[in-house]
């Protein structure tokens, strides 16, 4: 075995972690700057699901093919598939959270729990695959086939949700709600200062009363949630320091 292949073998999980997490975070960040209307979000969701399904189909084909004669090419195809899947997954997660932000607040927590359960579902697929498959090669075929079936289920569910009246109510009326909130804020100008809510100071009221667009809007939001963002950055830093390479050896 060459030194290059030995390096790939020893550091496979480290390579996989970088190929997975870096595009996921990057495209979640980029996704924030695109349109947040429900048609745009829904389109990006089903496109990301379709892309993930296609990559998993390709991965299933690779599991069938004998790649023992070209291990280095197989390694980089695997890294590329992880890269593409996590680009799609980053866009998908950003869009789902964008939709949850327009729904009542309890749905944000439900979405977070749902994303956390995805690891449990993947583990169950792996357990079932190992149980019913006679060889490791067949395990891989079953596992990735389950992933494709599950993505098809998500794809169909997305089209069903887009026709749900409760969902459409919040997605299509959100702009009207924003307009009403803006009118309510403007009406506060006629209210004496000592009668306004104590939780809102004068400077904050003036900022909310302005029409913030482009960079100013993002800077204002980042400033308001800066401590939460710092908390997330620290958590991600610690997580990426130990996962998956160190964590897998415990």
Question: What are the tens digits of pLDDT across the range 66-77?
Answer: 888 898 999 999
Contact 23, 87 (CB under 8 A): yes
Burial environment of residue 144 by CB neighbours within 10 A (0 to 12, 13 to 18, 19 or more):
buried
Contact 17, 240 (CB under 8 A): yes
Q: What integer is the mean pLDDT of 89-113?
A: 87
Exposure letters 184-203 (e unless 16+ CB within 10 A, then b): eeeeeeeeeeeeeeeeeeee
Q: What tokens were used for 111? A: 């979405």
Q: What integer is the mean pLDDT of 164-185?
A: 64
Q: What is the pLDDT of residue 203?
A: 53
Q: What integer is the mean pLDDT of 172-194?
A: 49
| C-alpha distances out from residue 229 to 28, 67, 177, Å | 14, 43, 27
> CA-to-CA distance for 191 and 198, rounded, in angstroms?
13
Band of pLDDT at residue 244, cut at 50, 70 and 90: low
Contact 71, 135 (CB under 8 A): no
The pLDDT tens digits for 203-212 are: 555 555 555 6
| C-alpha distances out from residue 115 to 92, 145, 155, 225, Å | 11, 20, 16, 22
Contact 77, 60 (CB under 8 A): no
Domain ranges of the chain: 3-163, 170-210, 211-250
Q: Quick one: the chain helix, strand, coil %, rounded to 5?
A: 85, 0, 15
Does residue 81 register a pLDDT over 90? yes
> CA-to-CA distance for 200 and 246, rounded, in angstroms?
47
Band of pLDDT at residue 196, cut at 50, 70 and 90: very low
Can the peptide bond before residue 46 be classed as cis, meaning omega within 30 degrees of 0?
no
CA 249 to chain centre: 27
Contact 145, 59 (CB under 8 A): no
Q: What tokens were used for 200? A: 């809102």
Task: Indicate the helix (H) or strand (E) that contains 209.
Answer: helix 202-209
Q: Rounded to two decimals, what is the model's pTM? A: 0.75
């Amino acid at each position: 075995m060459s030194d290059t292949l030995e390096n790939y073998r020893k550091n496979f999980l480290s390579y996989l972690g970088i190929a997975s997490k870096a595009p996921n975070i990057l495209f979640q960040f980029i996704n924030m700057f695109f349109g947040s209307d429900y048609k745009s979000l829904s389109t990006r969701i089903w496109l990301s699901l379709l892309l993930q399904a296609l990559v998993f189909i390709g991965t299933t084909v690779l599991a069938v093919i004998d790649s023992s004669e070209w291990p280095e090419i197989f390694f980089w195809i695997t890294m590329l598939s992880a890269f593409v899947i996590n680009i799609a997954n980053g866009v998908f997660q950003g869009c789902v959270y964008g939709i949850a932000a327009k729904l009542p607040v309890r749905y944000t927590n439900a979405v977070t729990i749902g994303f956390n359960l995805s690891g449990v579902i993947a583990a169950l697929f792996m357990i079932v695959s190992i149980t019913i498959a006679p060889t490791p090669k067949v395990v891989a075929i079953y596992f990735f086939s389950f992933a494709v079936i599950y993505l098809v289920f998500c794809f169909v569910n997305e089209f069903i949700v887009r026709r749900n009246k409760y969902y459409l109510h919040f997605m299509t009326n959100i702009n009207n709600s924003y307009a009403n909130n803006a009118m309510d804020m403007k009406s506060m100008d006629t209210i004496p200062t000592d009668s306004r809510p104590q939780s809102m100071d004068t400077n904050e009221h003036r900022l909310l009363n302005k029409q913030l667009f482009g960079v100013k809007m993002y800077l204002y939001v980042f400033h308001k949630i800066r401590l939460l963002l710092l908390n997330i950055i620290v958590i991600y830093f610690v997580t990426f320091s130990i996962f998956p390479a160190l964590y897998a050896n415990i």
